[in-house]
Amino acid sequence: MKSIMIDLDACNGCLTCTLACAAAHSRSGSIVGAMQEKTPARIFIEAVNGRAVPVTCRHCEEPACAEACMTGAMRKDSLTGLVSNEGHEQKCVGCWMCIMACPYGAVTAHPRERVALKCDGCPGLPQPACVAACPNRALRYEEPAFFAAGRSRDAACSAAQAS
C-alpha cells in the first residue's frame, strides 16, 4: 500500500502542503476559500532547530489512535489502509484519547469543533493533496519499499513506535 513518504533533506518549509491540505478539506476546494473558511490543515511543518520538518499521519499498520478510540469512530479501513475518524457509523466525540495515544503527534484537536483532526489520506484523489502540491518532492506517495534508502524515515519511525 502506498503511503506518504517524507524526504527531510528536500523540505524547505514552504508550507505549500499545509495550504493544499486545507484547500482539499474546505468546502470551496480552493486555498483562498480555505483561508476564508478557516479550514485547518492536517499536515504540519514543525521548526526543529532552524530546520523544517513535515509531520503527518502514517496510517499505521496497527494505529494506536484507533486502539485508544472509545467510540469506534477512529478506524483503519481494511481496503484502503487509511485511518480516519470521519465517515463511519460511529462518531467522534472529541475525547482526545487519540491525541494521548498517537506517538507521532499527528492527531490534533480541531481549533473550533469538538472533534479530533487528522490526515484522512484524501480518499478519492489519485494522491494526497499535500503530495501533489509539494514543489520540492519532499513529500511523495510511494510504496515504502521503493522509497530511497538512507532517507531515515523508517529508522525514525520504528524508534518512535509506541509498541
Which residues of this protein are in contact with other proteins, per CB under 8 A? 6, 8-9, 44, 46-49, 51, 53-55, 62, 64-65, 67-68, 70-72, 88-91, 93-109, 150, 152-153, 155-156, 159-163
Q: Give the shortest CB-40-to-other proteins separation in angstroms.
A: 12
Nearer to other proteins, 31 or 67 (CB): 67
Q: Answer yes or no: are the C-beta atoms of 74 and 85 closer than 8 Å.
A: yes
Number of Cβ atoms within 10 Å of the Cβ of 135: 10
Cβ distance to other proteins smaller for residue 124 or 163? 163
Between 21 and 99, name the residue whose CB sits nearer to other proteins.
99
Q: By C-beta, is 126 or 159 nearer to other proteins?
A: 159
Taking the complex as a whole, how short is the minimal distance between the CB of residue 115 and other proteins, in angstroms? 13
Q: Which grid cell is 148?
A: 530511497
Instruction: Report, in Å, the least distance between residue 23 CB and other proteins.
Output: 23
CB 159 to other proteins: min, Å? 6
Query: Please, which residue, 31 or 55, has the CB nearer to other proteins?
Result: 55
DSSP string, 18-37: HHHHHHHTSSS-SHHHHHHH
Residue given cell 481549533 in the structure block: 111
Q: At its nearest, how many Å lie between other proteins and the CB of residue 154?
A: 9
Extract the runs of DSSP E, i.e. beta strands, from the chain: 3-6, 44-48, 51-55, 75-76, 83-84, 108-109, 116-117, 139-142
Element (H, E) at 133: helix 129-133
